[in-house]
Structure 1
Amino acid sequence: MSGGFVDSVQAKAQEVAKEDFDRAKVLVNDAARSGSYLYPIKGIIYFLTHKALWKPLLSKLVPTVGLSIGVVGFMFAFTYLPQLAILVFVNGPLAAFTTALLVLNESSTLISVISKNFLLQEAILDTFDGTLVSRGSTDIVSQGRELKSGGDSIQRLGKVLKSPFDRFSPKALVRYVMYLPLNFIPVVGTIAFILLNGRSRGQAAHDRYFQLKKWSASKKSSWLAEHAGPYTAYGTVATVLEMIPVASILFSFTNTVGAALWAADIEAKESRMTDGTAPGLRETASKAE
């Protein structure tokens, strides 16, 4: 009987593993087809070649750079060694590297929380809307703010008619703290930590777009669930870029531009996400859930 029980457990474990693998394969396929991981890079290029989009960043550059330097300096001065002393027992020689990544990620989160709530909220909103305007998506932007007739894409932005992005969610901070212990797992744990934070980062990328589209919470949730792979891929690349010390603020803006470019492509039906995933793959994903 014990042999039969063990065989049953092994068979169930193999079944669950196959389901998880099939689901992961679908998510990776969706991400690859959508090209979402390229949008943070496209955002950098588009931002650098459209000077009008620099205005919101330049207006906040001095205080945000000062904030970044201060937070990163403080975190490395007071948290690096204590965390290294812990991680060295599980990561060995790699502890110096993984601890640095952890501190950078922690610093990035603190900078994001402080800056986006108190310094950059309006500037990032203007960058997102301005990018949509520069791509010709004025109809959708006009659903959330007044638009002027003349000037560049930023000068055309008028009074905001809809409340901007939600402030940093306490749930996001709690989730971040919950994921921190993953860093005790050598290499794989740190990668998983970045991917999980990337998923959260990706899910928030189009908050403004969904707001402009007047989507309900259920429709938004359904869309994000259906396109989990693309949003996780985008969020992971964006997270890695925003982990770079000091430059993280610049990448906050270029990632915003990238998210807006992606939204414009979806709106113009130029994104493969609008084509839907192949029926066979979607059926496989549904069975794996």
Structure 2
Amino acid sequence: MTSKITGALVDEAIHVRTIAKDVVLSGTYLYPFKGIIYTANHRPLWQPFLSRSGKIISLGLGVTSTMFFFTYVPQAAVMAITSGPLAPVSAALLVLSESSTITTFLARAFVLSDAITDTFDGALIEEGQEALVAQDRQLAPHNAARDAIDRLGKTFKGGLEKVEHPKMLLRSLLLLPLNFIPVVGTAMFVYAQGKKAGPDAHARFFQLKGWSDNQIDKWVEKYRGAYTGFGMASFALEMIPFVSIAFSFTNTVGAALWASDLEKMIE
């Protein structure tokens, strides 16, 4: 029994080392940061975010206030064991991180689904990928629209699902205690979440390509390190309190930039 456990741990360590090498070599962890710069220089891409900013702020304040009221004291007590005198500060940061995770999930599920899709498609159009976007939505002619976002019409397939599965939120909350472990625990948390966040960032790309679940699985497995690298970088940005939703949009732009590069490679 012990030998089996040891063998499993060794195999997992080898797998993680291989993935880590692929992550570094892929360079995809740079796309979320490219997304920030690109968004800053393309004002039309701000529109989907700004149009929903009021709802986002209200949701964020509500979630954060509730989390501090119900969870701060218990978590501060636990953090006193691992962080000593820094427990109050560590607990506050953890609650803010948890609040960001919950806010991002709820916002994506109920407020931002269409906005995220519009941002992704708008960035693709800015990159000259009109043919790809046209696979799933009507596009207004250049002379009939002010910018890339204004060109976006109705989708044929209804866009992405508006309500994500509750198990995604549950998974995030179950993994949050890893943050109780200084440095290493947080790194493990970001890695675990990044593995899932990477492929999710290209859900719209896969939809535009019209790929089946089997095709998507094969593609993601082929570029597992690249998707993990992108996911880790984007998730780390979305862990930053108060600006997590803004980074959701810039990460979407980064994902679109990567999708555009992949589309050029496929062609």
Q: By the TM > 0.5 criterion, same fold?
A: yes
1:142 paired to 2:134: yes
2:250 aligns with one of 254, 258, 261:
254
Q: What is the identity percentage for the equivalent residue pairs of Structure 1 and Structure 2?
A: 45
1:180 paired to 2:173: no
Letter in 2 for 1:149: P
> What is the deviation of 1:213?
0.6
1:124 paired to 2:113: no
1:243 corresponding residue in structure 2:
239
Q: 1:199 to 1:105 in 2, by over 3 A?
A: farther
1:220 corresponding residue in structure 2:
216
Q: 1:100 to 1:238 in 2, by over 3 A?
A: farther
1:92 corresponding residue in structure 2:
84
Q: Distance in 2 between matches of 1:111 and 1:16?
A: 36
1:68 corresponding residue in structure 2:
60
Larger mean CA deviation between 243-252 and 89-98 belongs to: 89-98
> What is the deviation of 1:184?
4.0
Q: Distance in 1 between matches of 2:187 and 2:152?
A: 39
Q: 1:250 to 1:177 in 2, by over 3 A?
A: closer
Letter in 2 for 1:158: G
2:165 corresponding residue in structure 1:
169
1:57 paired to 2:53: no
Q: Distance in 2 between matches of 1:104 and 1:224?
A: 31
Q: Distance in 2 between matches of 1:58 and 1:20?
A: 43
TM-score between both structures, scaled by the size of structure 2: 0.88
2:37 corresponding residue in structure 1:
45
Unaligned runs of 5+ in 2: none
Larger mean CA deviation between 235-244 and 186-195 belongs to: 186-195
Q: 1:98 to 1:187 in 2, by over 3 A?
A: farther
TM-score between both structures, scaled by the size of structure 1: 0.82
Q: Name the SS of the counterpart of 1:146 in structure 2.
A: strand
Larger mean CA deviation between 16-25 and 81-90 belongs to: 16-25
Q: 1:69 to 1:244 in 2, by over 3 A?
A: farther
Q: 1:188 to 1:99 in 2, by over 3 A?
A: farther
Larger mean CA deviation between 202-211 and 225-234 belongs to: 225-234
Letter in 1 for 2:263: E
1:156 aligns with one of 141, 151, 156:
151
CA contact (8 A) 2:100 2:242 kept: no
Q: Distance in 2 between matches of 1:159 and 1:87?
A: 49
Unaligned runs of 5+ in 1: 275-289
Q: Distance in 1 between matches of 2:117 and 2:96?
A: 25
Q: Distance in 1 between matches of 2:110 and 2:233?
A: 25
Q: Distance in 2 between matches of 1:37 and 1:21?
A: 21
Letter in 1 for 2:133: V
Q: 1:17 to 1:110 in 2, by over 3 A?
A: closer
The Cα RMSD (Å) is 2.3
CA contact (8 A) 2:98 2:173 kept: no
1:198 paired to 2:198: no
Letter in 2 for 1:183: N
Deviations 1:175-220 (A, max 9, x none): 2233234334343223212221222222211000001111111111
Q: Distance in 1 between matches of 2:69 and 2:134?
A: 47
1:79 paired to 2:74: no
> What is the deviation of 1:149?
0.8
Q: Distance in 1 between matches of 2:205 and 2:243?
A: 25
Q: Name the SS of the counterpart of 1:66 in structure 2.
A: helix
Q: Distance in 2 between matches of 1:208 and 1:220?
A: 12
